[in-house]
Structure 1
Amino acid sequence: MTFKAIALATILTGLGTTSALAQESGIPEAEVEAPTPQSIALELFAEAGSSLRAGDTETARRLMMAALDIKPAHPAVLRALVTIATRAERPDDGFAALDSMVEAGLTFAPADATLILLEAADADRLAGIRAALAANGEPVGEGEVIARINRPDALIEGVAMDIETDRIFVSSVADREILLLEPFARDEPIVFADREDGLWSVFGLVVDDRTRMLWAASGTVPQTPLADGEAEGTALFAFDLITGDLYRRYAIDGAVQMADFVVRDGSAYISDSGAPRVYRLDNVSGELEVLAEDPRFVSLQGVALARGALYVADYSMGIWRVDLTDGSAGLVRASETSLIGIDGLRQTRDGRLIAVRNGAEPYQVMAIDLDPTGRDVANVDVLLRGHASMAGNTEPTLVDLADGRAWLVSNAAWPLFPADGSVPDDARPATAIVELDLR
C-alpha cells in the first residue's frame, strides 16, 4: 500500500491512527485493532457507495481509486469504477477502467447504460475493448480428463498424485472422505480414509515421497455434515500411504480452518483460511507452531515453496511471500495480470508458481514467474482456460504437480452446495480430474 492510499483513506474515511480510534471510541488503545489494508479497502468501498448514492460521483471515484491502489487489479474495484464513470457520464474514466480489466486478464460484460455512454464517445475504442475482454475468456491450453468420479454429492476439492504407484487421491468436503483412484480403475473410487479416522471435511492433500505419508488438511465449513452434538475442529492428518493407517493427527490452539499446505523433506507449511495464520510442522514427530500471524492476511488458500521462501495465496489480496526464518510477510508485487481469487498454488522444480484462479473470471490455471528477488512477478502465462470440463456451475480448485505434469480438480461443484443446505435445481456433475503436461 502506498502513502497516497493511506493518506487518502485517512482523510476521506476518518480511520486515522490507532490512538485516534481509541480517543473517539473510548476504548483503551491496547484493545483497538489497527487498520489493515482489508479494513481500509472495505471502508473505502462503503464510503464510495454512500457518496455515489448521494450523487457525489467525484468523491466516489477518488475513494475507489484509493481502493485500487490498495488492491491492484481487483475485479470488484474495477467494476465499481465502471459504474461510477457511467453514473458520472465520464466516458474517459469508463474506458480507463475497462482497459485495466483487459490488462488484468479479466472478462466483463458492461451494462447497457455503460455501452450507450461509451459507444457515443468512441464506438471504435469500445469495440476494441469488448473484443479484448472476450479474448481474455477464450480457451487456452490442453488437458486430458484422466478420471471422472461419479460421486456428485461428495464435493471433491483436492487432489494428490503418488508418482511411484500412479495412484491418485482426492478429498471430499461433503462426504468427509479421502478417495483413492487406482491406475487401472480411475473411475472407481475406493474409500481410503473417512470420518471413522476423525476426519471432518477434507481440503488439501499432499503425498510426501520422503516419508511415504499422505497428508490431509481437515476442518468444518457449512457444507460439513456433523452428527448431533459433534464438535467442530480442524487438524492436519498424516496417513500411511500404503496401509491407510492414521499415523498422527496434528492440532494447534487457535486454528480455525486448515485449508491447504505444502510438504518438503518431512516439514509441512499450512495456511489457515479462517484465521490470519500460517503454521509450520518441522518434522513428522514434531508439533505444529505458528510461523506467521499477520492481521493483513484475509483469506489464505494455496501454499508453495519457491526461491527459499513460502508463497501463500490470499483470495482477497494476492500472493504473500513469507520469510521462513522470521515469518515476516509482504505481498508479491504483481504485473498487470490479476492475482486476486487464487485458490490452488504449487511450485515446479525450477521455482515457477502454478496457480488456479477461481475467484475472478475467467477461471484459469496460470504459471507465474518471479523475478530474481522472488518479490515481484516477472511474467504470467495462462496454461489452461475454457477447458470442456471447466463448464457449468462449477469451478477449478486445487492442483498437484509431479514429474513435469499437473493434476487439477477442474469442476468442483461448490456453487451447487449452498451454505444453507438447500439442494439447487441444477444436477451436480461427476468430478473431472484433468492432467496437464507442463514440459
Structure 2
Amino acid sequence: MFRFALPALAACCLTSAPLLAQEDDAFSLQGTATMLAAEAGRAAEAGDWEAARRALEAALGLKPQHPAYLSGLVRIGLNTGDADLIFDALERMADAGIAVTLSNLGDADESLRVMQPDRYAALDAAMARLTSPEGEAEREARIAYDGLIEGLAMDIETDRLFLSSVSGREVLLIEPFDRETYTVFADAEDGLYSVFGMAVDSRNRVLWVTTGVLPQTGLPEGETGETALVALDLITGDVYRRYTIDGADRMADIAVRDGIVYVTDSGANRVYRLQTLNSDLELLSDDPRFASLQGLALAQGGLYVADYALGLWRVDLDDGAATLVRSGSESLIGIDGLGATRDGERLIAVRNGMNPHQVFAIDFAPRGRIVSGTEILLRGHADFGEPTLLDVEDGRVWLVANSPWSQYPDDGTGPAGAVAPLVVLEIDLD
C-alpha cells in the first residue's frame, strides 16, 4: 500500500525516481506514464518548467486524475508563480474526489486567497466537502486481534463472518451470536501462508481463499512458501483442494459466480479462472498493460478488475481481452476492494490510495466501458483507518474498516505500536 500526500507526491513527480516497482515496461501505460513523469522531473531539475508541465499533462492523458501528476502541476505552479495553473490542478483534484489541505501550500495559500478570492472560496469549500463525513454504516463486528487483517467474506446463509490474516497465516471465524470473539477456522497447519482474498461459494459450500508470501508473512527460517487458491470446507474449515498454476506470484482477490472462480495475481499481474472444483486453474488474461491488479467483480456481463495504479479494466469472459474503462470526473486510481450489486448493474469499490478513503458505487453507460457516474456510500466514518476489502451480498456491503497495514512495514517487522481492535462495518444498499 502507498499513500498520496501533496508535498511528498509533488516532490516524487518532479524527480526521475519511479513511482512503483512495476513501472519498468516502457511499452505499457504505466511504463510510458512513468517515463513522462521522469522526463518532467529532469526538466524541473533543469528549470524548464514548461517542458515539465507538458510532460505531466501527457502523463495525465494516460492516467487521468492521477494525484501524483496533478500535485506535480501544483508544484510547477508554485515554482513559477502561475496561480492559474495551481488553481486548475487543485480544481481537477477536487473534481476527481482528491482532498488537499490548502494550508499545506504554505505562503502561497494566502497569496491565492488574495489574488482570486471567489475561486479560492469555491475551491476551499470543495475540499471541505471532500473531507466531511458522508453516508451511514453500522458496526457489524469488533475484535481485539494483534495481527494484520486484509479481507473478509460473509456466509449469508449462516450469518458467519470470515476474516483473512496476513501476519497470522490464518482464517478467523466470527459467529453471529458474538461479534466480538473469534475462533481460528484454518491456519498454517492447513498449508496457509498469508491469507488475502476470500469468497463464499454458496453453490459448492466452500470458502475460497488465496494464500501467498509477503515480507509481513513472517515465515520461519527454512520455509519458502507458495501462492495458491485454496478451497476450505465451509463448515469444518478442512482443505478440500489446493490449486496452483505455473508462473503465479501472489494470488490476491477472488470473485465467484455460479461456482466459477476468478482470481487476480497481484504479483504477476494476471487473472485466473477455475471452471469447476475438479478442474485446474487456467489463465484468463495477462495483458502486459496491467500494473497492480487488486479486487475484481462480475458486472455488466463482464469481469471488472481494479488496477491500483491505472483504474478499472473490463476483461472479456470469452477471450480475456482487457479494455481500460473510461472514467468520468471521479478518479478510479487507488481502488482496492471491489464487488458488485446483486443485479450486476453497479460496482461497489473501496478506495484507500488517496485522501479521502471512501466506499463508492460506480455506474456505467451502455456496454459497460464508460463510467456514467459515481455515488459516495461512505466517507469519513469514525471507524475508518485503512479500509481494504469488502463483500457484497443480499443488498448489503461488509468491509474491513481499519486494516493496520501502516503498522507492518515491508522489512518484515511489526507491528509498530499497539494494534487497534479490528472493525467490520455494514452498509445497507437498499
CA contact (8 A) 2:408 2:416 kept: no
- Which of residues 97, 107, 120 in structure 2 aligns to 1:126? 120
Question: Tell me, which stretches of 5 or more residues in structure 1 are unaligned?
Answer: 1-31
Among 35, 48, 56, the alignment partner of 1:56 is 48
**Alignment correspondent of 2:7:** none
The 2-side partners of 1:346 and 1:239 are apart by: 21
In the alignment, which residue of structure 2 is the partner of 1:398? 389
Q: Considering only aligned residues, what root-mean-square deviation do their CA atoms show, in Å? A: 1.3
**1:146-295 maps to which residues of 2 (within 5 A)?**
146-151=140-145, 153-295=146-288
The aligned runs of 1:58-77 (5 Å cut-off) are: 58-77=50-69
Q: Provide the C-alpha distance between the structure 2 equivalents of 1:102 and 1:224, rounded to a whole number of angstroms.
A: 37
1:335-374 residue pairs with structure 2 within 5 A?
A: 335-350=328-343, 351-374=345-368
Cα separation, 1, equivalents of 2:72 and 2:327:
21
Q: 1:33 deviation in Å?
A: 6.2
Residues 413-432 of structure 1: pairs in structure 2 closer than 5 A: 413-423=404-414, 426-432=417-423
Check if 1:382 corresponds to 2:373: no
Partner of 1:436: 427
Cα offset for 1:34?
A: 5.7
The reply to whether residue 102 of structure 1 matches residue 74 of structure 2 is no
In structure 1, what residue type is equivalent to 2:263? I
1:353 maps to amino acid? L
Contact 1:177/1:202 (CA < 8 Å) preserved in 2?
yes
User: Is the 8 Å Cα contact of residues 273 and 283 (structure 2) preserved in structure 1?
Assistant: yes
Maintained 8 Å contact 1:82/1:114: no
Specify the code of the residue in structure 1 equivalent to 2:126.
A
CA distance in 2, matches of 1:274, 1:88: 40
Shift of 1:113: 4.2
Larger Rg, first or second structure (1 or 2): 1
Q: CA deviation at 1:381?
A: 0.2
* Post-superposition offset of 1:232: 2.9
Q: Does 1:412 align with 2:412?
A: no
Q: Which is worse superposed, 352-361 or 110-119?
A: 110-119
**Residue of structure 2 aligned with 1:86, choices 72, 75, 78:** 78
User: C-alpha distance in 2, partners of 1:77/1:328?
Assistant: 28
Contact kept in structure 2, 1:57 and 1:84, CA below 8 Å: yes
Deviation per residue, 1:284-343 (Å, 9 max, x gap) = 110011100111100000010011110000000000000011111011110100000000
Counterparts of 1:135-150 in structure 2 under 5 Å? Answer: 135-150=129-144
Is the 2:26–2:35 contact (alpha carbons within 8 Å) kept by the matching residues of 1? Answer: no
Cα distance in structure 2, aligned partners of 1:99 and 1:396: 26
Structure 2 counterpart of 1:431, which letter?
L
Distance in 1, matches of 2:79 and 2:417, equals 36
CA contact (8 A) 1:357 1:363 kept: yes
What runs of 5+ residues in structure 2 fail to find an aligned partner? 1-23
**Which secondary structure does the structure 2 equivalent of 1:61 belong to?**
helix
Question: Aligned partners of 2:330 and 2:123: how far apart in 1?
Answer: 16
SS of 1:186's equivalent?
Answer: coil
Contact 1:106 1:137 in 2 (8 A): no
Deviation at 1:159, TM superposition (A): 0.8
C-alpha separation in 1, matches of 2:25 and 2:75:
32
Deviation by residue 1:85-112 (Cα, 9 ceiling, x = unmatched):
1111111111110110111011012421
- Of 325, 349, 356, 1:332 maps to 325
How far has the Cα of 1:371 moved from its partner? 1.3
Q: How many Å separate the matches in 2 of 1:320 and 1:67?
A: 18
Query: Could you list the per-position Cα deviations for residues 147-174 of structure 1 after superposition, in whole angstroms to 9, with x for gaps in the alignment?
Result: 11100x3211111111111100010000
Residue identity over aligned pairs, in percent, reads 55
Equivalent residue runs for 1:296-315 within 5 Å? 296-315=289-308
Tell me by how many angstroms 1:125 deviates: 1.3
CA contact (8 A) 1:205 1:214 kept: yes
Could you tell me whether the CA contact under 8 Å between 1:236 and 1:251 is conserved in 2?
Answer: yes
Return the alpha-carbon distance in structure 1 between the equivalents of residues 134 and 350 of structure 2. 14
Counterpart contact for 2:147–2:415, Cα < 8 Å: no
Tell me, in whole angstroms, the C-alpha distance in 2 between the residues paired with 1:414 and 1:213. Answer: 28
Size of the alignment, in residue pairs?
404
1:19 alignment partner in structure 2: none
TM-score normalised by the chain length of structure 2: 0.92
1:259-292: per-residue Cα shift (whole Å, max 9, x none)?
A: 1010111111111111121001111110011100
Matching of residue 319 in structure 1 with residue 338 in structure 2: no
1:114: which partner in 2? Answer: 108
What's the CA shift string for 1:207-227, capped at 9, x where partnerless? 011110000011111100101
